[in-house]
Chains A and B, each alone.
Chain A
Amino acid sequence: QLHLQESGPGLVKPSETLSLTCTVSGGSMSGGNYYWGWIRQSPGKVLEWIGSIDYHGITDYNPSLKSRVTISVDTSKKQFSLKMTSVTAADTAVYYCARDTKLAAIIYGGLTYFEHWGQGTLIIVSS
């Protein structure tokens, strides 16, 4: 059973960098050409895709966040990470890590849905 678990600071000060890690267990990161994504949900329940990475390290980012976001992967540790710079109160949200589904036919690898999700971690941006 695939399990994803987010870890992070909980509270980040405005203008600082948010760093989150997702640890994967119960499955391989290297096989199957899966896409690993970060999605956030605002306090108003709006879902926003942040970006995705495959096990080669190829990334896709939401243009609205691209200038501030970096996603990386370490398959040896079975982890992938999110860094977001210059955070503001608008970045306060529950952050989810997720793995895509292979149920759907491939158009382009990163254009996908997410079938396996972590439980989410609440990040509050406040001084």
Chain B
Amino acid sequence: EIVLTQSPATLSLSPGERATLSCRASQTVRSYLAWYQQKPGQAPRLLIYDAFNRATGIPARFTGSGSGTDFTLTISSLEPEDFALYYCQQRANWPLTFGGGTKVEIK
């Protein structure tokens, strides 16, 4: 099983600041990594697929990068609605696995 490790666990930032979230895979997932956003009481929402492609309707301030084992989600300038939980997920191999999440909270 491919283990995805996200860091940091919590990111405390102010609106307007840049957020940088990391996801590291225990073995290569090539570019087969997605990012999701989850707000309290809601299901996860697909943000980025295959490392750097934005899903439908996702604002340009969300950028994904990386390949192999190291990936980054960058939010260029945090909006109030961006404070949430973020998860990565790989589809390179069975079983599909998710990272443990990074909480982006208001400082």
Residues of A within 8 A of B (CB): 45-49, 60-64, 96, 98, 101, 103-105, 107, 111-115, 117-120
The segment from B19-27, B50-58, B74-82 that touches chain A is B50-58
Bound-complex Cα distance A98 to B45 (A): 11
| B72-107 Cβ-contact flags toward A at 8 Å (1 or 0) | 000000000000010101011111111011000000
Question: CB-CB < 8 A to A113: which residues of B?
Answer: 34, 46, 49, 89, 91
Jot down 19 A-B pairs with beta carbons below 8 A, ordered by A: A46-B98, A47-B87, A60-B94, A62-B95, A62-B96, A63-B95, A103-B53, A104-B34, A107-B32, A111-B32, A111-B91, A111-B92, A111-B94, A111-B96, A113-B46, A113-B91, A115-B56, A117-B43, A117-B44
CA distance A104 to B49 in the complex (A): 7
Tell me the bound Cα distance from A115 to B42 in angstroms.
Answer: 14
The distance in angstroms between the C-alpha atoms of A96 and B44, with both chains bound, is: 10
CA distance A113 to B35 in the complex (A): 9
**Chain A contacts for B49, CB-based, 8 A:** 101, 103-104, 113
| Across the A-B interface, the 10 shortest Cβ-Cβ residue pairs | A117-B43, A47-B98, A49-B96, A62-B95, A113-B34, A111-B91, A115-B46, A104-B49, A104-B50, A113-B49
| Bound-complex Cα distance A118 to B49 (A) | 19
Chain B residue nearest to A51 in the complex (CB) = B95
Q: Give the interface of B toward A (CB within 8 A).
A: 1, 32, 34, 42-46, 49-50, 53, 55-56, 85, 87, 89, 91-98, 100-101
| Cα–Cα, bound, A61→B42 (Å) | 24
In the bound complex, CA of A35 to CA of B24 (Å): 26
